[in-house]
Structure 1
């Protein structure tokens, strides 16, 4: 399930749903931890293949000597240890979607084999000369710059063209400020049962810290931080002490080190004050949960305070439009 309040991500979701109607390959790009597999699942679930298998393959986790067998299967006795015939991922995904995660890590020596299989729609198990037809939708993902990999001689240009018919570039979490509070509260709901405390949400300082942090590990890091906080908290509202993160990556102080260390920070973070962060948190939470009483409880403020803040936001917006 993808939870988002970000217009940028919402546009990608709509694009993914349109792309799902065809059988064209989809390439998902973006930093590690941004939720590429969730988008792959969205493409599958929105497609005519939704009732058929969704088979993920972590290309980075398969050794080179086993890669061909993992994808295409093998016959009994094809190599030492092949004590029985085994189908590969292409057969397992029959009629469905094959998700090639970390596709940039496929060994160069095997990329031509994969390209031939994708173009011919047939393959042979290791140790067999019998061709097997396949009907799978390919969705691939990478956190590498595949064009640069092509220039470096690590990735085939013809394979890139084959898997890159439709591309979705997933933005990092630091560029999706409105998603942070909604995702954080979602993860609290997922992990609250692991705590001896009846967790209600976050205090206001903790939520501001979550929104200001840079999240180099993206959604995966946010999930881990909230999981740890749910385990460690000794009070109903998670505080900054339970998060274990600091704002060392932010641009609130003079730049330290070479410019490249801070190049990842979007401009809006460099000038955003706490009031603006708080406004985005509250606006996103109200949009996600609707009920202001619930929002006030989860954000650790009183309903009256929430109402006053919303009134002030409307006044500021009206003044801005009048100007």
Structure 2
């Protein structure tokens, strides 16, 4: 048999394509059947509403009358004519800067402590994770408001120490911190992820460092943090995205008004006010798309900067 009798793909050394027979088409059809619930749900519940929201962001829509096309007026008003919008941006950024680092630091500290626990490890893990199971529910936020309100538990305790504040949720300088502490208190999810990452670090590294005379501080900086950096990066991205979308704690603490003095007027709370209280759904849709782009930009920056501080063991080995 000559080379002219060999198919072109095989003469060039490449594999011959598999024929698309009835059996393969049946397998592909079965795969699409199993995927259809997810595809249908994503299309109807996510992609279609996003497309409608994008259209409404260029309209004046009050949910009762037909949308009226206004072009970029909602975006222009947002950036140049609405001072409360910028106050909501400032409150949200302040919350992210306070809540995310404190939550991750506390989660890592507790994970390090639980790693060395010998007895009752399951109980302590469950106890520290329990607040995260409650979620950002309205009931928990209302209890938190009562604790930090004037005459609440925290105010009474501080008064007994001679550090009376008159209630955190009624003071502009303290209300934001009270809301942030609710997020910090629910540190269970990142703690579990940190604990799983810590258990993957080889103990031989710490033994070798101890032989070389490295103390716990040096071991933490030179071994734990670099080896844990991928997990830290994952938690940082996840918690940052969630922090930008916080709503329930601010709504409960400020009774839906973002007070006092707009100190807890988070972005999503102001979006809710514009869309469902003032019936400016077109304006709220524009705010939602700006938030989506902002979260995407922040996430892209985190991924870009991660190249200088996130280390992967497999890459280092190569």
Q: Which has the higher contact order (CA 8 A, sep 6+)?
A: 2
TM-score, with length taken from structure 2 = 0.26
Which structure dedicates a bigger proportion of its chain to helix?
Answer: 2
Which structure dedicates a bigger proportion of its chain to strand?
Answer: 1
